[in-house]
């Protein structure tokens, strides 16, 4: 297997990176309707701009009241129903693992 010089990036590593990231950690305390609106707006804008690979960081819900995650299951439900989402999965560990969704858009 060929090695790349330190200053040359691996083209496959670049392809694996999301084109845009939304991080709910930076959003503060949100209601369910706000979470829904932010997620849907992010998906719509990403699709409108022709992006195909995006990342949504929800967190794992470890700091949620009563230990019940709110953002993560709601975002997952939105992704399952959104017409622009081709498929999605947990992100790679380096990008948030099961506290983030890697999404491929149509």
Looking at domain 21-105, does it have CATH number 3.30.1370.110?
yes
How confident is the model at residue 47, as a pLDDT?
A: 98
Residue 49 is given by DSSP the state T
Residue 70 is given by DSSP the state S
First-residue to last-residue Cα distance in the chain: 33
How confident is the model at residue 87, as a pLDDT?
A: 98
Residue 4 is given by DSSP the state P
Residue 1 is given by DSSP the state -
CA–CA–CA angle 29, 34, 35 (5° rounding): 80
Domain ranges for the chain: 21-105
- pLDDT, averaged in runs of 10, over the chain (106 residues): 51 79 93 97 98 97 84 97 97 93 97
How far apart (Å, rounded) are the C-alpha atoms in residues 32 and 89?
22
């Amino acid at each position: 297997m060929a090695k790349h010089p330190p200053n040359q990036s691996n083209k496959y590593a670049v392809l694996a990176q999301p084109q845009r990231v939304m991080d709910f950690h930076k959003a503060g305390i949100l209601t369910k309707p706000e979470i829904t609106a932010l997620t849907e707006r992010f998906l719509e804008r990403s699709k409108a701009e022709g992006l195909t690979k995006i990342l949504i960081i929800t967190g794992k819900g470890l700091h949620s009241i009563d230990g019940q995650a709110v953002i993560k299951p709601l975002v997952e439900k939105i992704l399952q129903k959104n017409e622009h989402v081709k498929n999605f999965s947990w992100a790679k560990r380096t990008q948030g693992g099961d506290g983030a969704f890697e999404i491929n858009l149509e």
